[in-house]
Structure 1
């Protein structure tokens, strides 16, 4: 068995004395691990930072084996991330969430493309939090927990949407909320694409998406604890609201 693909590095772990197991997210083969022989060498170490783009070749005798990687670096994002605290927190959140929820060897080409586009925006502080929010909404959708923001779950109206049901992920209008208003999550206009970039709205939206990641996605994965990197990124966005 053998294939070649591009991939975003999610992480590494030691394998023996000189090798590493690479955990990568690829467009055509999904999240896929493999052994990189000599991965701890000076030749490889500078290019094996989380979020980096790699040209990957994988081979194994049988498809279900761990297999061997050979790699060539395509794009490093480490320098941009290290130069900006928001970028570093964002990069850590992205790779941590992907490592948290992606199953092995299941392709998600749409999510891969949006992840690649998001990481290419690292360092652009003015647009990155909004781009990240949209990525997180895509992540929920791709994992089977997409939010239904097209119309009110109660009235069927598609305007004046103001809340989201924490149970179903469906939008609700202010008039349709009724006596349940205190139990609903906020639906800021930025989640509907109806307002310009606003850090306070983005922060509110991230708390809403965070509910579904923690209470729906994580629950489906056996109640695994969420990566702390996501909370650290939300904290960094919150600092932007207090100049």
Structure 2
């Protein structure tokens, strides 16, 4: 097996005295793990920072063997880890992909969504500029893994107008009229998720609540406690930042 591709580092763990095992997301080959010789060294460890973009080369004699991996830094986001809010966002975005995606299966749309989200976190002057992108990224993960929400028409009436809620059971949109009397049992559907554009903080938090419900129920079932802890820290910090 031989793969050479740009990849987003998702996670690393120490292996042996000097090495590390890194998992990185490529666009065409999905999540690829690899053993990095000297991965704990002062020279290579910063390259393996989650959220960095690297040029990776994986080599293995068989498909069952853990590949040896060499990495070359393409773009570093390590400086963002000095800022608590962007750091929490980067940690959650990469942790979600690491936990949710099976290895060696291509998910180009997730790669593109993650890349765009990381770029937004890096470029935006404040969290307002990237929090909506993070919610959209989570919905892309759900959709690509087969748990996409139907936000195009009302699951009750079939109509496309005044969609304001989502059924927490079916994941289908519900119109304002069909939701009458049941609003407390439904999840809010922020307009920006369907119409695009900018979003107020109330809508951003509603979108994050919406995606969290389905991520914890359908994707992170056995790993929800550990993985969602990073998300909880992020949302708590966002709430404190805008309070």
Q: Which residue of 1 aligns with 2:12?
A: 12
Aligned-pair CA distance for 1:165: 0.6
Q: Which residue of 2 aligns with 1:227?
A: 228
In 2, Cα distance between equivalents of 1:195 and 1:12? 36
Structure 2: stretches of 5+ with no match in the other structure:
none
In 1, Cα distance between equivalents of 2:181 and 2:200? 29
**TM-score w.r.t. length of structure 2:** 0.93
Matching of residue 55 in structure 1 with residue 32 in structure 2: no
Structure 1: stretches of 5+ with no match in the other structure:
none
Aligned-pair CA distance for 1:194: 5.5
Contact map agreement 2:8 2:51 (CA 8 A) in 1: yes
| Cα 1:223/1:23, change in 2 over 3 Å | closer
Contact map agreement 1:81 1:122 (CA 8 A) in 2: no
**SS of alignment partner, residue 120 of structure 2:** coil
Alignment of structure 1 residues 150-189 onto 2, 5 Å: 150-189=152-191
In 2, Cα distance between equivalents of 1:36 and 1:218? 28
Tell me the matched-pair count.
Answer: 239
Deviates more, 1:193-202 or 1:156-165: 193-202
**TM-score w.r.t. length of structure 1:** 0.93
| Cα 1:142/1:215, change in 2 over 3 Å | same
Cα root mean square deviation, aligned: 1.6
C-alpha distance after superposition, 1:40-96 (max 9, x if no partner): 2222122121111110001111012111001111011011342x3321111011011
Matching of residue 135 in structure 1 with residue 134 in structure 2: no
